[in-house]
């Protein structure tokens, strides 16, 4: 009898322990979180801000409203170009922008947006998700208490708006141009004075002549911003940003406090937003380009071959010089270059070969 009682008690205790173990995640999941997300984009800005708000709504629905994310455009809660600091310091839990905006703090961050004459959106996704790029990104951001995720891509951009035509590399000298990241450093070598401005300030600066040229995104966004009213020469290709990635950054302490299922929701929703934003641009850019050309008499111009050739040479110089100055930059550059070379070799007999075949 005593033996049977002992077995019953032992079995009951085991079941109770098992129940407590399985109930723990459910209890954790019931905890509610109210987060803030700040962006670098203007209020109501199509695709970028719109995509972030869709991401927040998706999270709220997936979590049954237990993880609610309030989204603030640039300047509504913190200045547009201070989102990195706000998330790093824990003032807010999340931010959305582009990693190359923080090149003054983290030089290697530029690789996680775009590299001049580098990989397109397809190549960047392959590197980040399956080529070790995301792990490197997180290592680079770890000292700043940030966990980054890819969340958006514009696809190949346009080369920019210029008040005057560019017929040679000499025509770039002395121009004041809004252009961030490594592209800005390359332009500086060509004699341009690069300027960093948030999206909401670009049109006014170009219209008033504070700057002589600007790059922004592509036909759809550029038309919405009204840049065609301030300059009429619209150049391609976007050599400086062939596949720029947008970033979601999460404060690492806030991230660690989330139950695993909420972390998975964020990861999944960010990946969905990454695809959604890129698809939106691809779907809308061609219509906008035709409207700019036909309705607004914009000159759609290709950079002269010699200008592109010299910019590519200056890009290589810039990358090597930046790598010599910063260890993290050098490490990420080597990883990026290695993957890019393999990606280019595959593209030569896949995407590039197919594009060539279409013109035969």
Within-domain flag for 145:
yes
* Inside any domain, residue 39: yes
Report, as an integer, the average pLDDT of 336-354.
95
Reference 218, options 40, 44, 42, 46; nearest CA is: 46
213-269 tens-digit pLDDT = 999 999 999 999 999 999 999 999 999 999 999 999 999 999 999 999 999 999 999
Angle value at C-alpha 165, between 160 and 166, nearest 5 degrees:
75
Coil, helix or strand at residue 153:
strand
Answer yes or no: is pLDDT of 8 > 80. Answer: no
- Please report whether residue 12 resides in a domain: no
Decide if 191 is inside a domain: no
CA distance 190 to 192: 6
Specify if 23 maps to a domain.
no
Position of tokens 């919405």? 224
User: Could you tell me where the DSSP H helices lie in 217-259?
Assistant: 219-225, 252-257
Question: Cα(276)–Cα(253) distance, rounded to whole angstroms?
Answer: 28
Which residues 6+ apart lie within 8 Å of 30 measured at CB?
Answer: 66
Residue 22 has pLDDT above 70, yes or no: no
311 vs 29 pLDDT, higher one = 311
| Domain at 146, CATH number | 3.40.190.170
204-208 mean pLDDT: 96
Phi then psi dihedrals of residue 71, to 5 deg: -100, 135
Q: Over the stretch 147-193, which tens digit does the pLDDT of each residue have?
A: 999 999 999 999 999 999 999 999 999 999 999 999 999 999 999 99
What is the maximum span of the chain, computed from C-alpha positions, in angstroms? 100
Give yes or no for residue 70 having a pLDDT over 60. Answer: yes
Mean per-residue pLDDT over the chain, rounded: 92
- At residue 341, the pLDDT reads 96
Answer whether residue 329 is part of any domain. no
Range of the domain at 87: 32-153+243-282
Q: Report the distance separating Cα 203 and Cα 201, nearest Å.
A: 6
Tell me the pLDDT band of 6, cut-offs 50, 70 and 90: very low
Banded model confidence at residue 25, pLDDT cuts 50, 70, 90: low
End-to-end, the C-alpha distance of the chain in Å comes to: 91
Residue pair 349/356 in contact (Cβ under 8 Å)? The answer is no
pLDDT value, residue 29: 47
Q: What's the confidence (pLDDT) of residue 11?
A: 46
Calculate the CA 337 to chain-centre distance.
Answer: 19
Residue 123 resides in a domain? yes
Does residue 100 form part of some domain? Answer: yes
Average pLDDT over residues 56-69: 97
Question: Number of structural domains, the chain?
Answer: 1
């Amino acid at each position: 009898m005593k033996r049977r009682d002992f077995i019953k008690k032992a079995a009951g205790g085991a079941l109770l322990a098992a129940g407590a173990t399985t109930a723990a995640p459910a209890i954790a999941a019931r905890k509610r979180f109210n987060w803030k997300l700040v962006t670098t984009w203007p209020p109501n800005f199509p695709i970028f801000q719109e995509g972030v708000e869709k991401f927040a709504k998706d999270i709220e629905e997936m979590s049954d409203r237990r993880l609610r994310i309030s989204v603030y455009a640039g300047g509504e809660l913190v200045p547009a170009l201070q989102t990195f600091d706000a998330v790093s310091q824990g003032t807010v839990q999340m931010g959305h922008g582009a990693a190359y905006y923080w090149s003054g703090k983290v030089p290697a961050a530029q690789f996680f947006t775009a590299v001049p004459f580098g990989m397109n959106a397809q190549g960047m996704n392959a590197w980040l998700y399956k080529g070790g790029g995301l792990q490197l990104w997180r290592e680079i951001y770890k000292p700043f208490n940030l966990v980054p995720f890819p969340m958006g891509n514009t696809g190949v951009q346009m080369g920019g708006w210029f008040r005057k035509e560019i017929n040679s590399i000499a025509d770039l000298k002395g121009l004041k141009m809004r252009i961030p990241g490594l592209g800005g450093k390359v332009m500086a070598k060509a004699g341009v004075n690069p300027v960093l401005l948030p999206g909401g300030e670009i049109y006014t600066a170009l219209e008033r002549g504070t700057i002589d040229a600007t790059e922004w995104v592509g036909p759809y966004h550029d038309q919405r911003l009204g840049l065609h009213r301030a300059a009429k020469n619209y150049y391609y290709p976007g050599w400086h940003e062939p596949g720029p990635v947008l970033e979601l950054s999460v404060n690492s302490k806030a991230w660690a406090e989330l139950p695993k299922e909420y972390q998975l929701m964020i990861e999944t929703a960010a990946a969905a937003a990454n695809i959604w934003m890129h698809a939106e641009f691809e779907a809308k850019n061609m219509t906008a380009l035709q409207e700019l050309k036909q309705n607004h008499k914009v000159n759609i111009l290709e950079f002269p071959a010699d200008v592109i050739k010299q910019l590519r040479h200056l890009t290589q110089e810039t990358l090597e010089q930046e790598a010599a100055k910063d260890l993290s930059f050098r490490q990420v550059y080597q990883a990026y270059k290695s993957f890019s070379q393999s990606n280019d070799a595959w593209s030569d007999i896949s995407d590039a070969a197919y594009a060539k075949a279409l013109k035969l």
